[in-house]
Amino acid sequence: MTKTEVQTSNETQVDSRTEAGSGTVGLGLALRQNSRYVMKRSTALLSRLEEALTGSYKSTYGIAVTRILIGFTGLGLLVTNFNSRHYTFGVGSAWNGEIAQPTSDFPQMWIFSLFHHVAATPWLFTLLYLALAGLAIVVALGWRTRLVLPFYLIFWISFIEVNDAAGDQGDNAYRMFLLAMLFTNSSMRWSLDSRRRRRNERAPRPIVQKYRWVPVTSHNLALVVLAFQVCAIYVSGGLYKAGGDPWAHGYAIYDPLQTAQFGTWPVLSDLLTTWGPLVVLMTWGSLTFQIAFPFLLFNKYTKIIALLGILSFHIAIGLLMGLPWFSLTMIAVDAIFVRDRSYRRVARKLSQLTGRRAGGGPHDLSDRNSVSKRDEDVTLAEKQTGQAPTSGANLTQGASRMSPTKVPRS
């Protein structure tokens, strides 16, 4: 090899090493940039999640509707079973042996054993039965909700577990929803508690203001639990049904509607099951809405379709199969998926409509519009302070902490 060839070979090796070094440097720089981007996006996502959980109360109107319907459901079940209360839950059910030896574990716990101890005493059982109905009314009205709701849950479990054979999965869902509602502020809207807070104007204490994120986080996490629970019920139920031949072949709803136990409206049941394609459409449609429900919630347009579909599904179950209280329980929790602004819009329209029917003039309507504007201002203050102002004074204090040039629009 000549001297020139050796020099050329050395230069080639140096160039390749330089290119390899520059390639390694470029790869390291790209990895650092990508890692910085991922960290930045992750931090932003965590900040948004923290703000969503601790910033302000979510679905305040939706959980209020849930509270009202849950109370009405309990009251309806008690009223419709009043005449048969002793036969189903009281001394008349002693033949099944549960008064002597309960099947469920709940009556064996002292905190849930009250109705079990009085089941053999008709007048005392009736007295507690009426007291439970009164608690259901109080829950629906939203009076001292944080104090009343735990007692209502304890009384309800004690009552429904007296006869374990009389309960169903709807009762299980009811008590699970009640348990999650203990951690929400369900009386913030449309309740006697909210009216009382508006009348009693007082500034929040410094300690309450400092740790306001605790009840806010509890409320929002409980909403997540409720949403997960109802979605799990729909999806698991839908997937379980899909494995059966009646649902797979599209005739599943025909059989229960033609039985004496579930066919509560024989004429209507015959009308809906006469045409085969309609039976298939209703069978597969209900199955599709159940399984796809959680996925349809991610878009505001498909969410409307999902809520209307599942509402129709439960109304049909309540009317055609004689399960109104189970259906109303599920509808109650579905209410949390409707945005607060939608509830305010509906309330505003109803207020204007009732004002026109009552002969209210422009002055009355303007007053109602001002109330609606105040609700929007309250929501704005919640986003800034993390809690709902209870009076005009608190709202003013909340607004004074906002920058006048950076106040977002509702």
**Model confidence over 355-402: pLDDT tens digits?**
765 444 444 333 444 444 445 554 555 554 444 444 333 333 333 333
Q: What CA–CA distance (Å, rounded) separates 74 from 136? A: 6
> What average pLDDT score do residues 297-326 get?
89
247-251, 256-260, 355-359, range with the lowest pLDDT: 355-359
Q: What is the mean pLDDT of the chain?
A: 79
Amino acid, res. 148 = V
Q: What CA–CA distance (Å, rounded) separates 25 from 31? A: 10
Q: What CA–CA distance (Å, rounded) separates 178 from 87? A: 26
* Cβ 332 vs Cβ 70: under 8 Å: yes
> What average pLDDT score do residues 43-63 get?
80
> Residue 332 above 90 pLDDT?
yes
Q: What CA–CA distance (Å, rounded) separates 247 from 46? A: 42
DSSP 205: P
Rg (CA), the chain: 30
The residue among 193, 173, 185, 172 whose CA lies nearest residue 223 is: 185
Query: Which two structure tokens, joined as six digits, stand for 258?
Result: 């033609």
Of residues 295 and 264, which shows the higher confidence score? 295
Phi-psi sector, 268: left (phi>0), alpha (psi -120 to 50), beta:
alpha
pLDDT value for 382: 53
Of residues 165 and 350, which shows the higher confidence score? 350
pLDDT value for 168: 78
Query: Which two structure tokens, joined as six digits, stand for 299?
Result: 């878009």
Band (pLDDT 50/70/90 cuts) for residue 253 is confident
pLDDT value for 2: 58
pLDDT value for 108: 84
pTM for this prediction: 0.76
Q: What CA–CA distance (Å, rounded) separates 217 from 224? A: 11
What SS3 class is residue 183?
coil
* Cβ 197 vs Cβ 60: under 8 Å: no
Band (pLDDT 50/70/90 cuts) for residue 352 is confident
* Residue 100 φ then ψ, to 5°: -75, -45
Q: Is the dihedral of CA 169, 175, 178, 182 positive or negative?
A: negative
Residues 6+ apart with CB under 8 A from 75: 133, 136, 137, 140
Query: Which two structure tokens, joined as six digits, stand for 103?
Result: 């099947």
**Looking at beta carbons, which pairs linking 89-95 to residues 24 or more positions away fall under 8 Å?**
89/115, 89/119, 89/125, 89/159, 89/162, 89/163, 89/166, 90/119, 90/120, 90/122, 90/125, 90/162, 91/119, 91/120, 91/121, 91/122, 91/125, 93/119, 93/162, 93/163, 93/166, 94/119, 94/120
